[in-house]
Amino acid sequence: MSDPQFDVERATAGLVLALFLAASLLVGAMYYFVLRDMEERAGASNASQAVRVEHPSAGPPASASIPVSEHHA
């Protein structure tokens, strides 16, 4: 008859190995889909999706400047 402690250690090692393999497969699948999505987005980009920056016209400032008080605390 085998030692029960050895059976528990062996089962725990098998569980840890199975969880590690599952996590590795999950990370690999996520990496694959992220790379595929990045390539699709890069291929679909064109000038219509470019960022447009509109500079404000030369006008009065949005807020008046606040004078510095000469009184010190």
Q: Give the integer Cα–Cα distance in Å for 36 and 30.
A: 10
Does 40 have pLDDT greater than 90? no
Q: pTM of the full predicted structure?
A: 0.50
Of the two residues 52 and 6, the one the predictor is more confident about is 6
Does 19 have pLDDT greater than 90? yes
The domains of the chain are located at 4-45
pLDDT for 48-73, tens place per residue?
656 777 877 776 666 666 666 666 55
Query: Measured in Å, how far apart are the chain's first and last C-alpha atoms?
Result: 86
